[in-house]
Amino acid sequence: MTRCALCDKIDTSNEYRCSCGGPLQLDHFKGYIKKEGKIWSSHRDFFPYNLSKEDSLGEGNTPLIRAKRLSAKFGINLYLKNETVNPTWSFKDRGTILGIKRALELGYDKIGTVSTGNMAASVACYGAYHGLRTIVLVSSDIPEGKLGQISLYGPEIIAVDGDYGELYHQSLNIDDIYFINSDNPYRIEGYKSMAFEIASELDASHVIIPTSSGGLFRGIVKGYEELIQNDIIDHIPRFIAVQGEGCSPTHRAFSEGEPVKHWGCPNTIAKAISNPFPPSGDVVVKKLKELKGTSVAVKEDDILEAQKSIARDGIYCQPASAVGVAALPHLIKDMDRSSKVVSLVTGSGIKVKAPSVKVKTADINKLKEKM
């Protein structure tokens, strides 16, 4: 059964949105954890479909790495959830696989998505694997690195000029394509798997989530809520939603106590989280207030510095994935040395243009002089 994540009304008349305008989600699942190892099988009771090996491309079960240098710098126990090792190098694959299963259940032969890049690559990949015609609507300023990856999977790519925030809503009016967009109810179910994995390894005090449309935030929270409701854990971490200052409509709404408003033109290097009118933004604000979480908007220079710091702790991520670490100076006053903090590293840096660098040159016969 689906109900609105905003007004809580049961609504089965639409696949995506409630009549109030809020996003739909599946009711909470009940069950217990089986000792079978892989996330889709060990937590089978908590997902809408049983997934076979033929469905999966190996998404999930990603490393949770203790960041030694960053932990020492901030005086906490910082862990990085490394989503860059998913099949298309981002967390999106966790949600896409369940969205695909829903499309097939409903009899669709065409799927689509609206994306700045990561989700487009994921939907294109899984669509190709399952033999579905795939249409991806991307923003016209998409990084070349992302576009190259998407194209190899063979989808129809349409670069759209205009308001990216409005494009999401326009896509939902296209009847013959099943859109696995950012807050599709089944995509949210896939994102829960990240919460299950973290909870199985660590009693986290804080979970820091790069936030754009709000779908990932909703999935992480829903996963923890289901663990609580089934008496598998006895408390949940504090959730922190982080955005770049150049596009932070959800943070602004949380800070001002107002509904989410259109940001205008995004201006941030964290392009993967630069949705100017996030479709789940109001739900994120609602959950932050209910669960005593908080929100942070971080500066561009701090994002770039955090990206370098994460690389020195072993992970090359895109700028949007670094906003959680960039937010730590705003958060550590409420933490102590026993805090176990997880920052989600959502996508690989290979997808975006690398910063320019200066390198030394040397004659092969004079190499020692340069060392």
pLDDT of residue 65: 98
Mean pLDDT across 266-277: 94
Locate 241 and state its tokens: 């939603």
> What is the pLDDT confidence band of residue 196, given thresholds at 50, 70 and 90?
very high
CB 94 within 8 A of CB 60: yes
Q: How many domains does the chain contain in total?
A: 2
38 or 323, greater pLDDT: 323
- Identify the DSSP state of 308: H
Residues 148 and 260 in one domain: no
Q: What is the pLDDT of residues 119-177, one digit of tens each?
A: 999 999 999 999 999 999 987 777 777 788 899 999 999 988 877 778 888 898 898 99
**Which CATH number does the domain housing residue 170 bear?**
3.40.50.1100
Residues 190 and 321 in one domain: yes
pLDDT of residue 144: 75
pLDDT of residue 36: 81
pLDDT of residue 12: 80
Domain region containing 271: 64-90+185-351
Q: Measured between alpha carbons, how far is residue 47 from residues 41, 55, 192, 214 in Å? A: 10, 14, 9, 20
In sequence order, the 6+-apart residues with CB closer than 8 A to the CB of 31 are: 43, 44, 45, 46, 230
pLDDT of residue 13: 83
Share of the chain above pLDDT 70, in %: 99
142 or 290, greater pLDDT: 290
Locate 154 and state its tokens: 């063979």
Residues 240 and 218 in one domain: yes
Least confident residue range of 10-19, 197-206, 221-230: 10-19
C-alpha 69/C-alpha 134 separation (Å) is: 42
The answer to the question of residue 212 being in a domain is yes
pLDDT of residue 31: 95
pLDDT of residue 14: 87
C-alpha 371/C-alpha 369 separation (Å) is: 6
CB 104 within 8 A of CB 111: no
User: Is the pLDDT assigned to residue 110 strictly greater than 80?
Assistant: yes
Mean pLDDT across 309-319: 97
Helix (H) / strand (E) element for 111: namely: strand 110-115
3-state secondary structure of 184: coil
User: Is the pLDDT assigned to residue 371 strictly greater than 70?
Assistant: no
Mean pLDDT across 2-18: 91
Amino acid at 351: K
Residues 259 and 290 in one domain: yes
End-to-end alpha carbon distance in the chain: 65
User: Is the pLDDT assigned to residue 90 strictly greater than 90?
Assistant: yes
The answer to the question of residue 371 being in a domain is no
Task: Please give the backbone phi and psi of residue 3, each rounded to the nearest 5 degrees, phi first.
Answer: -140, 165
Nearest C-alpha neighbor of 271 from the set 320, 304, 333: 320
